[in-house]
């Protein structure tokens, strides 16, 4: 694969003391800007003031199911009919592993800047949610949580052998959400991924939203905010040592 050209992520600094970070990953054909309004809405409510948001942009790659057209993508997709067997067939393992390494690098950068791994959440929508589950659970550091909206488990047939030992994120909470009318990532595929994760001993929860297609709704975004507040509670002002 030729070297990928990456744009720097879109950043929303914490509005108070920076004690936590959320990395939120967009879906196929989108950019980090597509989730800026959701982040701005959370910031307006002033309930996540200590959280820095990082919205990375996927590189332009050819997407087979779109006749090889170049578009922002975290990995190639051969079919987009939402069927589990179709998606598992010809999975772009090389592309998935490249994006995994990139996301792990974003996590490490936050740790190097002084944010503990257990104050970092990785989340995303569709392809971005799939990468959040994969990169989050294969991380060598224990994260605060994982958010996966309208997504599924990639490389599920060999997932267990790709997870580093010890499995530091075995108990990391995973919030999964899906519309019941999703024609792109079939709702049953989302449910099957949830069941697979449970069978492997992980800690996912799943919420299904009625009449929601392959998109997000306000109720879902409120639920994501509640999950983030639970996993990344405010720590308050830093205590200064007495002289």
Catalytic residues: 126, 182, 214
H or E stretch at 170: none
Pairing of strands 10-12, 51-55: antiparallel
SS3 11: strand
Give yes or no for a contact between 222 and 47, defined as CB atoms under 8 angstroms apart: no
Residue the block writes with tokens 């010809």:
90
Residue the block writes with tokens 């936050």:
110
Alpha-carbon torsion (73, 79, 84, 87), positive or negative = negative
Alpha helices in the chain (DSSP H): 36-44, 84-88, 93-112, 127-137, 159-162, 187-199, 218-231
The angle that helices 218-231 and 36-44 make with each other, rounded to 10 degrees, is 60
Question: Per-residue b/e over 34-56, b at no fewer than 16 CB within 10 Å?
Answer: bbbebbeebbeeeebebbbbbbb
Nearest CA among 106, 83, 14 for reference residue 53: 14
């Amino acid at each position: 694969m030729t070297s990928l050209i990456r744009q720097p992520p879109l950043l929303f600094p914490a509005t108070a003391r920076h004690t936590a970070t959320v990395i939120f990953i967009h879906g196929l054909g989108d950019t980090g800007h597509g989730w800026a309004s959701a982040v701005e809405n959370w910031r307006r409510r002033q309930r996540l003031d200590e959280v820095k948001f990082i919205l990375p942009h996927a590189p332009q790659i050819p997407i087979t199911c779109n006749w090889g057209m170049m578009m922002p993508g975290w990995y190639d997709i051969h079919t987009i009919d939402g069927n589990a067997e179709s998606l598992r067939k010809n999975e772009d393992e090389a592309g998935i592993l490249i994006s995994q390494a990139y996301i792990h690098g974003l996590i490490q950068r936050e740790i190097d800047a002084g944010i503990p791994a257990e104050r970092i959440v990785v989340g995303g929508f569709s392809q971005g949610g799939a990468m959040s589950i994969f990169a989050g659970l294969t991380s060598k550091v224990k994260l605060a949580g994982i958010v996966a909206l309208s997504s599924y488990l990639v490389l599920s047939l060999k997932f267990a052998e790709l997870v580093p030992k010890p499995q530091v994120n075995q108990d990391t909470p995973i919030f999964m959400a899906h519309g019941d009318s999703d024609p792109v990532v079939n709702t049953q595929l989302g449910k099957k991924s949830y069941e697979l994760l449970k069978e492997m001993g992980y800690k996912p929860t799943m919420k299904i939203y009625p009449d929601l297609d392959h998109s997000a709704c306000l109720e879902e975004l409120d639920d994501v905010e509640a999950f983030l507040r639970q996993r990344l509670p405010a720590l308050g002002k830093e205590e200064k040592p007495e002289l």
